[in-house]
Amino acid sequence: MASSIGPIQRRLSREEIAALYVRTGALVLRRCRFLLRDEAEAEDVLQEVFVRVMRYGGPASEEGRIELAFLYRTAERCCFDRMKKRSREPLQDPDSAVEIAVHTAERSEAAQLVLRFFERLSPKLQQVALLHHLDGLPQERIAEELSWSRRTIGKKLKQIDQQAQRLAVQWKERKK
């Protein structure tokens, strides 16, 4: 993993924001789309993330570039806040979940199931589900990323799989 030189703790210029947008904007937007299932909201969160970075900076690589992981975590926090606020709204059809732009990279059946019902997972499990089933990270890296123990990650992943299977059964019953 690229090592950080330490955070950039100053207001970024427009040029820096423009360059960061070119390098990472589409990736952050894609993540927001997946979480929010709404193009306009996703674009709004994208801007919100960049506003925060512009004002406060963030962790940077050796080349002095803001790291993608930091942008993802910031975007996820914004998205989770919005998802929480709208938790009383009717949930969308889970079959539309993986049609939202995500990688076409290989995914296991278990991962596809979790992503399909991601919106219905409890908020505490969504972060881990995101890193494991969307980003494909192994437990060790998730533990490092979230500063949790590997054991905790393992337990969460088990809960995620169980919850996803339960949701799949409930959805099937509902569709009958």
Partner 1 sequence: MNHPPAFDLDRFAAKDLDPAETSRVQGHLQECPKCQQALAGIEDERKAMISRLSPPQFAALVDVRASLSDRRAWGRPLVIWSLAGAGVAAALLAVVLLAPWADHQDQARWMGSAPTVRIYLNRNGSTMTLTQEHLQIGDRLRYEVTLPPGKKGYAALVAVEATNVFPVLTGSNQADPIRVSDTSLLPGSVAVESGSEPTLLCLIFRPEPYSMNDLIREVGQARLEKKLDSMPGLIHQLLVEAGPQ
> Which tokens in the block code for residue 129?
């589900």
Among 134, 153, 160, 167, binds partner 1 (CB under 8 A): 134
> Is the Cβ–Cβ distance between 121 and 164 less than 8 Å?
yes
Phi and psi angles of residue 170, each rounded to the nearest 5 degrees, phi first: -60, -40
> Least separation, in Å, of the C-beta of 137 and partner 1?
5
CA torsion 35-40-41-47 (nearest 10°) is 110
Nearest to 12 by CA among 52, 47, 43: 52
Residue 4 phi/psi, 5-degree rounding, is -85, 150
Binding residue count for partner 1, defined by CB under 8 A: 44
Residue ranges in 9-38 that form contacts with partner 1 under rule CB under 8 A? 14-15, 17-19, 21-27, 29-30
Spatial separation of the C-alpha atoms in residues 104 and 60, rounded to whole Å: 28
Site mask for partner 1 (CB under 8 A), range 69-108, x = bound:
x-------------------------------x-xxxx--
Residue type, 42: A
150 binds partner 1 (CB under 8 A): no
Tell me the C-alpha distance between 35 and 58, whole Å. Answer: 22
Among 57, 136, 146, 159, binds partner 1 (CB under 8 A): 136
Closer by beta carbon to partner 1, 26 or else 91 = 26
Piece of the chain touching partner 1 by CB under 8 A; list 47-55, 88-96, 151-159, 164-172:
47-55
Q: How far apart are CA 104 and CA 132, in angstroms?
A: 16
Nearer to partner 1, 63 or 173 (CB): 63
**Contacts to partner 1 by CB under 8 A:** 1-3, 14-15, 17-19, 21-27, 29-30, 40, 43-44, 47-48, 50-51, 54-55, 61-62, 65, 67-69, 101, 103-106, 131, 134-138, 141
